[in-house]
């Protein structure tokens, strides 16, 4: 069943009951302050780094789920009725409830016994804070006396320490409180400010309060949960001052509302920093100037509304860069709005903070960030440029790369190190996408450190060259690239050979065979390699281009000779040079990745192998909910394969529907001109098409999930790991560039749709290198691929690459398929 609906005009998903099958979240923030916000006001916020600078506490893996948030408690002081208008944490009975998740904001509205509540939560552009604008309205015809309590629980900044180091933490919590009789009220969380931190958090409201609490135990009661706070039930704040233990922020406001009256409060949860020499305003009194300025800025409902309007304008502008109109509303709303929105979230979060990623684990992935870029480079090209330079600086001089880096320091992560041999190639993929989008070859001349070391800096072009030659010079017995610790599939750990529980599959190499090879890396090389050669040529490096083309020819030969299994492409060779992903194998006979990517790279298109490979994928791997990663699932742990065989059959890399690589098959299908099949693979994993199946799917119907349980799993069709997945970028590439077929190339905007024959047409608007392209595709001919004619601004046009006009104007392109 459905738990809500899309409001396309508002660009909102409207959740109509609070007990969704999993918390359905949204992301607040677009620059450096971020919040995760669930449909019942759960979640937390942080400044720049979800591990190091976390403002509020959240309990992953808690019972009940989704514990921690910015909560508001209401109490009718006449009847003593207490409730949480966001449903959680009290699971209050509500007369009405609605949560609208929009672009960078969420709005929860509810009512109970004639008291309406609304909360709009967002992070304003350019400020380091969350705003929660709360309005309560007396819809009854008698006066109401309502006690309003706010509640946040502070995290002691380092989220990892916060949940492990209690012997210290229970003694370090400190706050300051400023609740004067007039003006706004503020609670300051200043733990560790006395020593090495120069930042604190502020939780303010734009009105005087009748009380406050800053000590958790005083507010809740030691043996109470968030669902039964003692202060609220007593109708009286304790005016507690936290000293150690668990600092919280709670304002207590007594509101008298006559019949029909509304009151609005603007709560601000902010991060403030002071220069080292201006930390204090008096002995032990933090310098509150930045906090006061922030609260002052948002001290009226109008100021909050204006900030929200600015945020809306920001998103309208961003999403105006690529829009879709089509009869198929699900596709149009996903491709035009939600998929791009998710791409921006992956840009901001990488794989750090979601309801499946704790924010204390991985930083920015080298391969992940390069792929994520494919989904947002058209939206924020300048930020993509900066991101590329950050990523490239974590590359080693030999072309390999730190697998991850920390967003705060931008330094490569030593704990995980290097050795994922696909990593280098994704840099070429990202840079090529950037140049095709912008035409900015200048980026190649940027001087970029290797290993974050300025003295090793060289041009970005040199980085690409080292990337390109890494798989060429690190090959195994079949002339195919060595896999290292793993390739795109982090769980194909062919040199790991781990017997020790808990040992990391990704960083352990008990047997560095120097033998295990990856067919997938070869295919990725053949997909991105030609772009490198083209970049060489277009920048006058003809010798480099020719040398690269020879390397490409060599790799093509290796894959042709050793990478084909008869009906599909092999996946890899293990440390003993045994085949993986072969019909000869007992389990893991066929894998999705090498087949999708090889056909994307054009291998076997002219000799029938591509068709065979994709037909085999369809026959062996396809399910109702998408294409599983491999079949048959590994039933036992294989020491020579690693983590892939550690998962129960049907989950994650062991035959789960790993959505990330489904679009590779979509794209591959378009290379064969099979528009129906391409669209079918697109829709199967697209969440909007499963909106009415939410009880099984469980995760949000407006965002992609990393994984849907495969056919071997009991809960086949259930999704996990929503939001932070490369699926976002790749599905956007597949729908926008290959199905709808509007694809940036070095020469201009290529138009080459590949759609089901019964799709009558569609309209796409695309901002591209300083001009707007208004593209209408007419498929009354009922084709899957092929263009009969194109007109540009009313004139016949030959060819299907529309030049970069760069004139700031709107150009009308009419495409007739046939
Ligand atoms: C997961 C992979 C992930 C890896 C990251 C593994 O447990 O299965 O999907 O890429 O962890 O380190
Ligand atoms: C998730 C990781 O973030 C990504 O880098 C990897 O490619 C996939 N899992 C597959 O293992």
Q: State pLDDT tens for residues 343-357.
A: 999 999 999 999 999
Q: Which of 354, 364, 365 is the pocket-test mutation for ligand 2 (most atoms within 8 Å of CB)? A: 365
Q: Is the model's pLDDT at 161 over the cut of 90? A: yes
| Element holding 461 (H helix, E strand) | helix 460-473
**Any atom of ligand 1 within 6 Å of the Cβ of 357:** no
Q: Which residues contact 280 (CB under 8 A, 6 or more apart)?
A: 286, 287
Ligand 1 centroid distance, CA of 644 (Å): 9
Query: Mean pLDDT of all residues in the chain?
Result: 97
Q: Is the model's pLDDT at 1 over the cut of 90? A: yes
75: its two tokens: 């109490």
Percent of the chain with pLDDT over 90: 98
Sorting pLDDT into bands at 50, 70 and 90, what band is 796? very high
Give tens-digit pLDDT for 111-120: 999 999 999 9
Ligand 2 centroid distance, CA of 488 (Å): 6
Calculate ∠ Cα 698-699-702, nearest 5°: 130
What's the mean pLDDT in 168-177? 98
Distance CA(688)–CA(542), nearest Å, equals 47
Sorting pLDDT into bands at 50, 70 and 90, what band is 162? very high
Give tens-digit pLDDT for 67-111: 999 999 999 999 999 999 999 999 999 999 999 999 999 999 999
Q: What is the pLDDT of residue 512?
A: 84
Residues 403, 406, 412, 413, Cα dihedral to 10° = -70
Give tens-digit pLDDT for 712-765: 999 999 999 999 999 999 999 999 999 999 999 999 999 999 999 999 999 999
**Any atom of ligand 2 within 6 Å of the Cβ of 642:** no
Distance CA(247)–CA(784), nearest Å, equals 61
802: its two tokens: 């529309």
Q: Which residues contact 301 (CB under 8 A, 6 or more apart)?
A: 133, 135, 264, 266
Q: Is 490 a catalytic residue?
A: yes
Instruction: Name all contacts of 188-194 with Cβ < 8 Å and 24+ positions apart.
Output: 188/286, 188/288, 188/291, 189/55, 189/154, 189/247, 189/249, 190/286, 191/154, 191/156, 191/157, 191/247, 192/156, 192/157, 193/279, 193/286, 194/284
Sorting pLDDT into bands at 50, 70 and 90, what band is 406? confident
3-state secondary structure 640-696: CCHHHHCCCCCECCECCEEHHHHHHHHHHHHHCCCHHHHHHHHHHHCHHHHHHHHHH
Q: What is the pLDDT of residue 415?
A: 86
* Residue carrying the six token digits 């310098």: 287
Give tens-digit pLDDT for 237-279: 999 999 999 999 999 999 999 999 999 999 999 999 999 999 9
Phi then psi for residue 518, to 5 deg, are -120, 120
Q: What is the tally of helices (H) and strands (E) in the chain?
A: 20, 44
Q: Which residues contact 466 (CB under 8 A, 6 or more apart)?
A: 395, 397, 398, 399, 424
Ligand lying nearest the CA atom of residue 725? 2
> Which is catalytic among the residues 490, 531, 622, 712?
490
* Residue carrying the six token digits 């509101």: 255
What's the mean pLDDT in 649-666? 98
Ligand 2 centroid distance, CA of 615 (Å): 25
Query: Does the bond joining 89 to the residue before it have cis omega, within 30 degrees of 0?
Result: yes
**Any atom of ligand 2 within 6 Å of the Cβ of 491:** yes
If you take atom 10 of ligand 1, which residue's CA is the nearest one?
490
Give tens-digit pLDDT for 269-319: 999 999 999 999 999 999 999 999 999 999 999 999 999 999 999 999 999
Stated pTM of the model: 0.98
Q: Is the model's pLDDT at 363 over the cut of 90? A: no
Q: From the CB of residue 624, how many other CB atoms can be counted at a distance below 10 Å? A: 9
Q: Is the model's pLDDT at 575 over the cut of 90? A: yes
Cα dist from 432 to 441, 470, 546, whole Å: 10, 17, 18
Q: Which of 353, 356, 368, 373 is the pocket-test mutation for ligand 2 (most atoms within 8 Å of CB)? A: 368
Q: Is the model's pLDDT at 408 over the cut of 90? A: no
Q: What is the pLDDT of residue 414?
A: 87
Sorting pLDDT into bands at 50, 70 and 90, what band is 407? confident
Give tens-digit pLDDT for 509-549: 999 889 999 999 999 999 999 999 999 999 999 999 999 99
Ligand 1 centroid distance, CA of 248 (Å): 34
**Any atom of ligand 2 within 6 Å of the Cβ of 565:** no
Q: Produce one character per residue of 89-112: b if its CB has 16 or more CB atoms within 10 Å, e if not.
A: bbebebeebbbbbbbbbbbbbbbb
What's the mean pLDDT in 5-21? 98
**Any atom of ligand 1 within 6 Å of the Cβ of 492:** no
Ligand 1 centroid distance, CA of 422 (Å): 15
**Any atom of ligand 2 within 6 Å of the Cβ of 365:** yes
**Helix segments in 58-206, DSSP class H:** 159-162, 166-169
Q: What is the pLDDT of residue 617?
A: 99
Q: From the CB of residue 192, how many other CB atoms can be counted at a distance below 10 Å? A: 16
Q: From the CB of residue 64, how many other CB atoms can be counted at a distance below 10 Å? A: 11
What's the mean pLDDT in 465-484? 98
Distance CA(591)–CA(518), nearest Å, equals 12
**Any atom of ligand 1 within 6 Å of the Cβ of 654:** no
Q: Is the model's pLDDT at 693 over the cut of 90? A: yes
Ligand 1 centroid distance, CA of 491 (Å): 7
Give tens-digit pLDDT for 35-77: 999 999 999 999 999 999 999 999 999 999 999 999 999 999 9
Q: Which residues contact 216 (CB under 8 A, 6 or more apart)?
A: 153, 242, 245, 246, 247, 248
């Amino acid at each position: 069943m459905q738990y809500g609906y899309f409001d396309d005009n508002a660009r909102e998903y409207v959740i109509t009951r609070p007990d969704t099958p999993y918390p359905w979240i949204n992301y607040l923030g677009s620059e450096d302050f971020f919040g995760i916000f669930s449909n019942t006001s759960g979640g937390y916020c942080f400044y720049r780094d979800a591990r190091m600078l976390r403002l509020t506490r959240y309990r992953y893996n808690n019972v009940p789920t989704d514990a921690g948030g910015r909560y508001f408690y209401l109490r009718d002081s006449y009847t003593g009725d207490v409730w949480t208008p966001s449903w959680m944490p009290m699971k209050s009975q509500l007369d009405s409830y609605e949560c609208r998740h929009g672009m960078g904001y969420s709005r929860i509205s509810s009512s109970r016994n004639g008291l309406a509540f609304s909360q709009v939560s967002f992070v304003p552009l350019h400020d380091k804070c969350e705003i929660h604008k709360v309005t309560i309205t007396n819809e009854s015809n008698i006066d109401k006396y309502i006690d309003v309590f706010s509640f946040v629980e502070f995290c002691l900044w380092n989220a990892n320490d916060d949940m492990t180091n209690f012997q210290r933490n229970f003694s370090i919590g400190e706050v300051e409180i400023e609740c004067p009789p007039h003006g706004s009220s503020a609670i300051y969380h200043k733990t560790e400010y006395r020593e090495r931190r120069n930042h604190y958090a502020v939780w303010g409201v734009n009105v005087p309060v009748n009380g406050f609490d800053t000590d958790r135990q005083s507010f809740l009661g030691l043996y109470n949960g968030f669902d039964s706070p003692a202060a609220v039930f007593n109708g009286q704040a304790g005016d507690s001052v936290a000293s150690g233990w668990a600092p919280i922020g709670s304002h207590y406001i007594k509101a008298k509302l006559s019949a029909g009256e509304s009151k609005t409060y603007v709560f601000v949860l902010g991060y403030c920093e002071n220069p080292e020499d201006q930390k204090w305003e008096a002995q032990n009194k933090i310098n509150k100037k930045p906090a006061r300025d922030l609260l002052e800025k948002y001290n009226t409902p109008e100021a909050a509304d204006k900030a929200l309007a600015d945020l809306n304008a920001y998103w309208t502008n961003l999403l105006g860069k690529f829009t879709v109109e089509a009869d198929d509303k699900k596709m149009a709303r996903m491709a035009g709005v939600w998929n791009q929105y998710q791409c921006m979230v992956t840009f901001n979060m990488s794989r750090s903070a979601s309801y499946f990623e704790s924010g204390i684990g991985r930083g920015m992935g080298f391969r992940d960030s390069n792929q994520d870029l494919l989904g947002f480079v058209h939206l924020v090209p300048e930020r993509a440029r900066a991101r590329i330079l950050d990523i490239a600086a974590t590359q080693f001089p030999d072309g390999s790369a730190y697998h991850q880096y920390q967003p705060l320091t931008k330094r490569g992560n030593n704990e995980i190190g290097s050795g994922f041999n696909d990593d280098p190639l994704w840099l070429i993929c990202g840079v090529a996408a950037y140049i095709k989008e912008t035409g900015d070859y200048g980026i190649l001349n940027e001087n970029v450190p290797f290993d974050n070391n300025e003295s090793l800096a060289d041009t970005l072009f040199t980085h690409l060259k080292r990337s390109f030659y890494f798989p060429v010079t690190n090959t195994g017995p079949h002339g195919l690239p060595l896999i290292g610790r793993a390739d795109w599939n982090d769980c194909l750990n062919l040199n790991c050979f781990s017997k020790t529980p808990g040992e990391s599959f990704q960083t352990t190499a008990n047997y560095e065979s120097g033998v295990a090879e990856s067919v997938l890396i070869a295919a990725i090389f053949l997909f991105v390699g030609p772009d490198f050669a083209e970049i060489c040529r277009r920048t006058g490096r003809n010798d480099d281009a020719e040398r690269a083309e020879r390397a490409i020819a060599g790799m093509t030969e290796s894959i042709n000779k050793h990478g084909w299994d008869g009906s599909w492409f092999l996946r890899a060779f293990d440390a003993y040079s045994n085949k993986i992903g072969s019909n000869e194998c007992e389990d893991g006979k066929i894998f999705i990745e090498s087949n999708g990517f090889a056909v994307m790279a054009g291998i076997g298109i002219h000799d029938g192998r591509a068709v065979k490979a994709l037909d085999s994928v369809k026959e062996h791997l396809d399910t109702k909910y998408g294409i599983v990663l491999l079949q048959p699932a590994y039933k036992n742990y294989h020491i020579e394969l690693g983590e892939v065989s550690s998962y129960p059959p049907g989950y994650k890399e062991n035959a789960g529907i790993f959505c990330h690589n489904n679009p590779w098959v979509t794209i591959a299908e378009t290379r064969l001109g099979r528009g129906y099949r391409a669209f079918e693979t697109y829709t199967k994993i697209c969440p909007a098409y499963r909106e009415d199946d939410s009880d099984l799917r469980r995760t949000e119907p407006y965002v992609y999930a990393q994984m849907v349980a495969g056919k071997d799993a009991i809960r086949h069709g259930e999704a996990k790991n929503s939001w932070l997945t490369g699926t976002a970028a790749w599905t956007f590439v597949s729908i926008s560039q290959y199905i709808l077929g509007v694809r940036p190339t070095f020469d201009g905007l290529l138009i080459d749709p590949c759609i089901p024959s019964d799709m009558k047409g569609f309209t796409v608007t695309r901002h591209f290198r300083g001009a707007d392209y208004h593209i209408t595709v007419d498929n009354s001919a009922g084709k899957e691929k092929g263009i009969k004619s194109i007109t540009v601004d009313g004139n016949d046009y030959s060819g299907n690459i529309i030049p970069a006009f760069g004139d700031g104007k709107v150009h009308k392109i009419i495409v007739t398929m046939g």
